[in-house]
Structure 1
């Protein structure tokens, strides 16, 4: 019986089939993933992006006015005595008396005895000098008598001319001795007077370096005193301030008024008035400031009964300068970046930022020429984070104002800043 063989596929067909399976399976997986992603993502709806809320700019405004502005230059300084000296003894000796006026802070008057040195040694020296003077005067009297007699005898040839010349020389020497003795007497009197140390002027005691029983040497300091008839203040004036002041340069120039206030306590409302009488001849080497010297009479109020202006006290000086004509004073808080201001056009209430150049500035205001500010404009006084050109603004009314500036029309509300 013939056996029937089973049909087997050829080896090449099996190989091709396996290759197709390996290629189709990954593609099917990728296609299924892409389909699933597309199906799932198509069901998610994006939330709509909310529109940004538009913020309205709001600001307070101020009307601008053209006026004249008086310049007040303010500077800081320290009060100093115009005459501060150290008292010294001109003779040596033991201190036997110190005046109650020679205490720290005490007042004294010119010519008052402040310190007295033991005068006994100097009294003895004066007595000796007077005795020497008496001897010299007696010797001179005798020399004159001898000379006169020699002159009479030389005519009768009783003495020689040589004896006459000798008598004349003796008389001249005696005269010189008298002059010397007189000088010694005067010196002894001066030394005796110098045992009393006198006050050189009306003043106060700054320091005391001597006491009763101490030895005072020649030219040794006894203490420091200063005059109280007036004090001086050395005021630094910057270069950009000098153009607004008419400072006196020569002695015949008019003085300039100045007022001083306490720089330590703001609550002290006392005002001292003085005058700038001169300026120093050189500029400060570091700051290039010019120092003006102001004089204040009766600083301790002995005649006026005002509170004392003490030496060493810091003060704020205010000096009246020139007056600027036809200018606009802008509040310093409304000036940004030193030279930027924001104006508001009252016709449509839009912003108009601009740059200005100041003529003068102080702690309160920045002063600009009237020609630098367009007419019929308001000044924005609120600090704005941004201020684009032409942006609309809402005017913040002033509290308690009867009629808001925002409600006034452009025709009659703003005061025109005319050029």
Structure 2
């Protein structure tokens, strides 16, 4: 190899490492001279963008839904109270017919009862005549008694005069005996008249009792005459009818069943969690009188309920109220609480969902005419809670009832504050209309906190994010 080539090769081997070192030193000083950290600036620019919504304080009711079945509020079986043949059956006395209170549905042959009533009326008249007679006898006897008393007084004075004369030996002893005998006769006559008055008064008392008995029997006979007409006890619809005209019925036989249509009830079952909120409607610390406190242990507070029935693609609604337990305790099979809801105006049918308070709920012009037995309805129970609750959008809730909130965090470089994620587990108490309610005292969040509602990819606590507020 020529000498000059050998020298060139050696120079390259020596100068190449030196050149590499120089380039490294230059790069180090250039990068050190930069005012910003490119990696951090890039990381800041790459912080994920999240959509957020502020947490709101809940104002209003807690609404939860259950299913229920409409049942009669009152259903009465009419039975005859007198025996006889049915002589008339009204055209409305048929199953499915609506009747008004007081409508005569059946008439039983009343001739026997009318005759008995007339007989007792005459017997009562005779009792009045007997009392008048005895009153006349008592009056006459009392007059005779007065005369007997006057006669006795005269005889007593006569005996005294004879006794005075006998003391002067002006009369004989036979005259004295005669005067005393006259006194005894007068006294005996007076006693007989007294006994007669007492006897007549006793007889009058017996006649008065006989009159009262006749009056009672007459009243019963007249009642039997009235019972020959069977009338509707209230406005309602006849469910069953079991007899026809010319049938013979005995006292106690049932003839029809009628259902009261002035109101209906809805049978439903509530979960214990739902009953908890119903119980909690009284303000905390409320003190009730002992009698009311005892009653409240076994009764439900007044609670508004809306019932909805879907028909023809539309929903029809009724207003009602949670009335009472259906019995006492939990159903052993379902571990739920049977309850009854009362709808006072089953014929007042509304259309659509119940609007906000103060807005008129429009009445339906089509669809069902009334809420009737057998309908399966959706119930919305509106509970006025006394607890402080927070309202969150449902899309912010992650599996396990977790939510991500955005709060201020420290920048590790010390150059300022960052917005970072914090994970919080909440206790959901109700969910409806794309919103959930959580307890304010156990959620770890407060009204005004910012919730993440957009999807996150592999989020972690203190992860830096950028925000975009949404409505």
Which TM-score bucket, shorter chain as reference?
A: 0.5 to 0.7
Measure, in 2, the Cα distance between the counterparts of 1:134 and 1:310. Answer: 54
Change (3 A) 1:105 1:305: farther
Q: Where does residue 203 of structure 1 map in the other structure?
A: 236
Measure, in 2, the Cα distance between the counterparts of 1:109 and 1:255. Answer: 31
Measure, in 1, the Cα distance between the counterparts of 2:405 and 2:132. Answer: 105
Q: Where does residue 213 of structure 1 map in the other structure?
A: 246
C-alpha contact (below 8 Å) 1:203/1:228 kept by paired residues: yes
Measure, in 2, the Cα distance between the counterparts of 1:366 and 1:119. Answer: 69
* CA-to-aligned-CA distance 1:43-102 (integer Å, 9 cap, x gap): xxxxxxxxxxxxxxxxxx975552345631111112222222111111111111222232
Measure, in 1, the Cα distance between the counterparts of 2:300 and 2:313. Answer: 36
Does 1:83 find its partner at 2:129? no
| Correspondence 1:286-365 to 2 at 5 A | 286=332, 287=334, 289-301=336-348, 307-322=369-384, 325-331=389-395, 335-336=398-399, 339=401, 356-362=425-431
C-alpha contact (below 8 Å) 1:376/1:410 kept by paired residues: no
Counterpart selection for 1:67 from 56, 60, 68: 56
Does 1:282 find its partner at 2:328? yes
Counterpart selection for 1:115 from 87, 106, 109: 106
Indicate the larger mover: 238-247 or 361-370: 361-370
SS of aligned partner of 1:269: strand
Counterpart selection for 1:130 from 112, 121, 130: 121
Length-normalised TM-score, structure 2: 0.58
Change (3 A) 1:170 1:326: closer
Measure, in 2, the Cα distance between the counterparts of 1:66 and 1:266. Answer: 39
C-alpha contact (below 8 Å) 2:308/2:318 kept by paired residues: yes
* CA-to-aligned-CA distance 1:179-224 (integer Å, 9 cap, x gap): 2111111111111011111222222212212221112221221211
How many residue pairs are counted as aligned between the two chains?
327
Pairwise CA distance, 1:316: 0.9
SS of aligned partner of 1:270: strand
SS of aligned partner of 1:413: strand
Indicate the larger mover: 274-283 or 185-194: 274-283
SS of aligned partner of 2:91: coil
C-alpha contact (below 8 Å) 2:304/2:383 kept by paired residues: no
Bigger helix fraction: 2
SS of aligned partner of 1:87: strand
Q: Where does residue 318 of structure 2 map in the other structure?
A: 272
SS of aligned partner of 1:271: strand
Length-normalised TM-score, structure 1: 0.64
Pairwise CA distance, 1:149: 2.2
Q: Where do 5+ consecutive residues of structure 1 fail to align? A: 1-60, 345-351, 382-386, 391-408
RMSD: 4.2
Measure, in 1, the Cα distance between the counterparts of 2:76 and 2:69. Answer: 19
C-alpha contact (below 8 Å) 2:404/2:451 kept by paired residues: no
Pairwise CA distance, 1:124: 0.9
SS of aligned partner of 2:81: coil
Q: Where do 5+ consecutive residues of structure 2 fail to align? A: 1-49, 149-188, 283-291, 351-362, 407-420
* CA-to-aligned-CA distance 1:248-288 (integer Å, 9 cap, x gap): 887999843321111x6582311112233555683324255
Change (3 A) 1:413 1:156: closer
Change (3 A) 1:131 1:205: same
C-alpha contact (below 8 Å) 1:339/1:358 kept by paired residues: yes
Measure, in 1, the Cα distance between the counterparts of 2:275 and 2:437. Answer: 17
Q: Where does residue 256 of structure 1 map in the other structure?
A: 303
| Correspondence 1:29-178 to 2 at 5 A | 63-68=52-57, 71-157=62-148, 160-161=192-193, 162-178=195-211
Change (3 A) 1:155 1:372: closer
Q: Where does residue 30 of structure 2 map in the other structure?
A: none
* CA-to-aligned-CA distance 1:357-401 (integer Å, 9 cap, x gap): 4322447665557746995644439xxxxx8677xxxxxxxxxxx
Q: Where does residue 185 of structure 2 map in the other structure?
A: none
Measure, in 1, the Cα distance between the counterparts of 2:349 and 2:270. Answer: 31
Q: Where does residue 194 of structure 1 map in the other structure?
A: 227
Measure, in 2, the Cα distance between the counterparts of 1:415 and 1:298. Answer: 44
Counterpart selection for 2:455 from 377, 380, 384: 380
C-alpha contact (below 8 Å) 1:353/1:389 kept by paired residues: no
